[in-house]
Amino acid sequence: AILEGGETGEAVIPGDPEASLLLKAIQYGEQDLQMPPERKFSEEEISTIEKWIKDGAVWAEPEKKP
């Protein structure tokens, strides 16, 4: 779902942090797109997510139950 996106587009574009809405949201770069709404992540947390996106946004698939 994160790669398919929603009404505003793809949340993450692997390898392209600048085009990824997730990164824009956690950076609080746009008034209407701020995530999480309670508080901004630390610069270290944002940097970690930016690196993850830049490195291809790879994660392990959950095991499917038979």
pTM to 2 decimal places: 0.78
pLDDT on residue 31 = 81
pLDDT on residue 63 = 74
CA distances from 12 to 16, 28, 65, 66 (A): 8, 16, 27, 30
- How far is the C-alpha of 48 from the C-alpha of 66, rounded, in Å? 34
Residues of the chain with pLDDT under 50: none
pLDDT on residue 30 = 80
pLDDT on residue 59 = 82
Using DSSP's 3-state secondary structure scheme, residue 45 falls into helix
Using DSSP's 3-state secondary structure scheme, residue 10 falls into coil
pLDDT on residue 32 = 83
- 10-25 pLDDT per residue, tens: 889 999 999 999 999 9
Both structure tokens of 8: 């505003």
Q: How far apart are the first and last CA of the chain?
A: 22
